[in-house]
Chain A
């Protein structure tokens, strides 16, 4: 953030956004924070809040990109962004993807509050046929249960895009760290780490997904998903609490050492140690144990278990399963990059100035490997989305009443002869999005590495 301030100061001129980049960013962060808090408090309006929060994130990214263009900086990002804007196909892709995001974020909310159409609302008429063709009331028609198809496609888009993005983020976080550590440390550690990747690679991912869904699916899922916030909260408490307690203990010992000598010092240290152990035990206990009554983790998991039904937790399992397999290639890509980078002189120079291994990996090596990583990540999003659609089409992924583009297409194909719109609507939306994402990904690759352009 500090760098940016300086940049803005040096840039001087430029647009309003360019000049007040930090201000805008801070304001956006504040808005997101307020909305998040509101979301937690007012659970009855959470859909609006979530949509607004995502809008804010979207806007934030947009401001970042615009300021990148106006800034005079010669950073890799700025020049790549300028090159991307010259690629017409990529810009079309970018615009379609951006519009798709906006529609998918805000569409369901607007439909609900303006027209009263909900993706899971089944009208209570007793007719045999509930599938209606597109009309003014239902712009894309209805599905076989009479639910509005537009609302379902938009809601399905949320899940499809979310699967793509979350799996990619997981693959980035896990794959990049894993690959970088393996590549930098090298030797036996690298060998073991990459063999683990090979082993997971060798298992067909469909099998992993089926096993995961079978083992943790069904009634187990809700409790499994509910323990996640508990574990996270517990870890947070321990990470904060234990160092504080240890620091207090050390401070106390130092204080005593100046005042006590001999046996009294030992006795005081013993008593302090005992107290310390009790405090630590209490911290750990408050974090994990007593789920459901007093602990922070228990409180969180209680709060969230209520809002989790089985179909939703199935979706989370799908995220998890796709994330589990999507990082493997990323880890290999990053490792290869790091291997070629780590013998360069700037790494030696960084070591000679006393930077630690972690500092070298995360500050010096990973940024240099980022080009291929970004390219691979942008192409991972559509490929994961396709995998999700495929799994949902087979009936393994998203289950009704939730929808994804894949499960909608799967529902639609049953009645393709009579109600073709039920297949056409999700299929066309998905195809359009995947095309745009692929064009965008190709554009980003060309922009980041202009020398490999094929024409």
Chain B
């Protein structure tokens, strides 16, 4: 089953966790496609299923309690859900790699940087110690670590947070993977380092032609990086659109709320910051109807009773809302001039 030029194709993915509290539907029917060389942003609050989606793609869901109960994941002609674990291990790190949120904890504190970098290429590319070592130094240079020859012999605690995230990126990219999943790569870093890391990912992506999935809850991060964006909420895709269109004309009340929640220092000086009221629902006990109903500004009776449809607004823009078309039309007015009442 070869997709039309797409590297990764996720169809109706369902990943549930069996907890004492009941079945948690962490990811419930998520579909998306990623073409070669494309960058996809996944945005959502904590617990919306962003990370679980991508851990499912890597088949890294802790099992039990988690399980991929339905759907298909195709990665370049490979059925990820059906491939045996041994094969999956050969794909991980070699063809798809991952960067994690907290560089402070995602490097093994006990092993030298060289050991950790060498492990990947020895495992996947069959490098000898010498080759792997040289490759490790080269990768550190690529991600912009000064004095790479000396730094490669250091331990993680001798690096700063930004440097460690660079090491993580070097590790993830050392086998030249086709897919890079960056799970909130800049959340734990300060703003100047954030920009550097994002610039680095962008630059490496352009040079190596890697497809990137960028998970974040920071809309500012995805804005300049991605070609299309998925907004997730309670394990569902709420809106899927090209980046520009999503920012300019969102078709989902949740997306609008998210966009309004980004503080704007120029215009909001001294005013109270906007936030979406309420808390994300408990995914183990979702109410009937729309999962966002409690917090939505334009909730109506139909939202409480019926699960919203996944409306196609145009060829690449979808939104999960009963009133997607209306919200889309309302959004055509630039958001800054919009009054608070309409929201």
A binding-site residues for B, Cβ under 8 Å: 2-3, 6-7, 10, 73-76, 187, 344-346, 348-356, 359, 363-364, 367-368, 370
Contacts and interface: CB of A to CB of B under 8 A. Distances in A.
B168 interface: yes
Interface string B51-94: 00000001010001000000000000000000000000111111
Contact of B93 (A187, A346, A352, A367): A352
Interface residues of B, number: 39
B292 to A, nearest CB: 30
A352 B109 contact: no
A344 B107 CA distance: 10
Contacts of B172: 353
Given A76-B110, A352-B92, A353-B92, A345 B100 contact: yes
A3 B98 CA distance: 26
B319 interface: no
A354 B90 contact: yes
A194 to B, nearest CB: 18
Contacts of B133: 2, 6
B115 interface: yes
A10 B114 contact: no
B102 interface: yes
A343 to B, nearest CB: 9
Contact of A351 (B92, B109, B111, B114): B92
Contacts of A3: 112, 114-115
Contacts of B168: 349
Contact of A344 (B93, B105, B123): B105
A355 B158 contact: no
Contacts of A350: 108, 119
Contact of A353 (B64, B93, B109, B114): B93
9 contacts: A3-B112, A6-B153, A349-B106, A349-B171, A354-B90, A354-B93, A354-B120, A355-B123, A356-B89
Nearest to B112: A3
B290 interface: no
B224 to A, nearest CB: 26
Contact of B60 (A76, A348, A359): A348
B111 to A, nearest CB: 7
A353 B123 contact: yes
Interface in B108-146: 108-112, 114-115, 119-120, 123-124, 129, 133
A353 B115 contact: no
A359 B60 CA distance: 16
B324 interface: no
Given A348-B60, A349-B171, 10 more contacts: A344-B105, A345-B102, A345-B105, A345-B106, A348-B100, A348-B106, A359-B123, A363-B111, A368-B108, A368-B109
